[in-house]
């Protein structure tokens, strides 16, 4: 659930970093898709959402490792009772933050961070205007700030299903929980047989050896 982990980590960092610049930082749940007047009381505010996967490239010749570029979007908004310019520039009072400051602050907090996860540090992207409008005699300004990061994805071998496992750390834990088609794990490699051919001797006389690669879980040698 790396995508969910990234979204949650972004939300946490922005909530802690922005402090009292905003009422809250939450995961985006379509608040701006309906009547924007319904969210006036939650401004200034910020929302975090997953914007999709924008590029995937093979990382190994076997094509079982893929370099994946994902995009995340932070939406910031504010309102002002005076005019549209004030919603962006802010005002003399601390509660008149303005979206320009919010955009700069979000980029400052996110750019170059990996959030303690197995991802590449975030790179900043576009900042897009979503709304510059008036609602209930209030000027409203909303911007979307894009950030890209990169992580590695491991593909299944051709013909294999996700692996049967009881471990919560398995990358296939969801398939086990939801009873999808599964493949049994490959047997552990415990030992390797070796034969040393000496020129001039018949193959039947070649010395052999058995190298223990690992022990059984109980600590004894296999076989």
Q: Tell me, letter by letter, the H, E, C secondary structure of 133-158.
A: EEECCEEEEEEEEEEEEEEEEECCCC
Low-confidence winner among 111-115, 163-167, 200-204, 208-212 (lowest mean pLDDT): 208-212
Provide DSSP, 56-75.
EEE-STTS-EEEEEEEEEEE
Low-confidence winner among 13-17, 58-62, 142-146 (lowest mean pLDDT): 58-62
Low-confidence winner among 68-77, 126-135, 165-174 (lowest mean pLDDT): 126-135
What's phi and psi for 203, nearest 5 deg? Answer: -55, -30
Residue that has been written with the tokens 């070649």 in this structure = 206
Percent over 90 (pLDDT), the chain: 45
Position 40 scores a pLDDT of 72
Q: Rounded distance, CA 170 to CA 223, Å?
A: 29
Angle at 33 between CA 75 and CA 3, to 5 degrees: 50
* More confidently predicted of 42 and 132: 42
Q: Rounded distance, CA 76 to CA 93, Å?
A: 19
Residue (of 153, 157, 212, 204) closest to 188 by Cα position: 212
**pTM of the predicted model, to two decimals?**
0.77
* More confidently predicted of 209 and 62: 62
pLDDT in tens, 57-81: 998 777 789 999 999 999 998 876 5
Residue (of 157, 21, 155, 168) closest to 100 by Cα position: 21
Buried b / exposed e along 23-42 (16+ C-beta atoms within 10 A): eebbebeebbeeebeebeeb
């Amino acid at each position: 659930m790396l995508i969910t982990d990234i979204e949650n980590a972004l939300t946490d960092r922005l909530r802690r970093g922005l402090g009292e610049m905003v009422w809250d930082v939450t995961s985006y749940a379509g608040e701006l898709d309906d009547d924007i007047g319904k969210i006036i009381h939650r401004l200034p505010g910020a929302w975090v959402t997953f914007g999709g996967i924008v590029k995937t490239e093979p990382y190994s010749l076997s094509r079982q490792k893929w370099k994946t570029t994902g995009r995340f979007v932070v939406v910031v908004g504010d309102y002002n009772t005076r005019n549209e310019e004030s919603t962006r520039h802010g005002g003399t009072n601390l509660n008149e933050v303005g979206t320009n400051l919010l955009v700069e602050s979000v980029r400052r907090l996110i750019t170059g961070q990996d959030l303690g996860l197995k991802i590449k540090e975030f790179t900043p992207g576009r900042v897009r205007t979503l709304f510059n409008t008036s609602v209930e005699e209030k000027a409203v300004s909303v911007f979307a700030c894009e950030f890209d990061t990169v992580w590695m994805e491991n593909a299944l071998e051709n013909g294999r299903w996700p692996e049967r496992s009881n471990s919560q750390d398995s990358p296939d834990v969801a398939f086990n929980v939801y009873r999808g088609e599964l493949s049994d794990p490959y047997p552990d490699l415990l030992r390797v047989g070796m034969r040393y051919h000496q020129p001039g001797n018949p193959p039947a006389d070649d010395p052999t050896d058995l190298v223990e690669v690992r022990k059984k879980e109980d600590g004894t040698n296999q076989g």
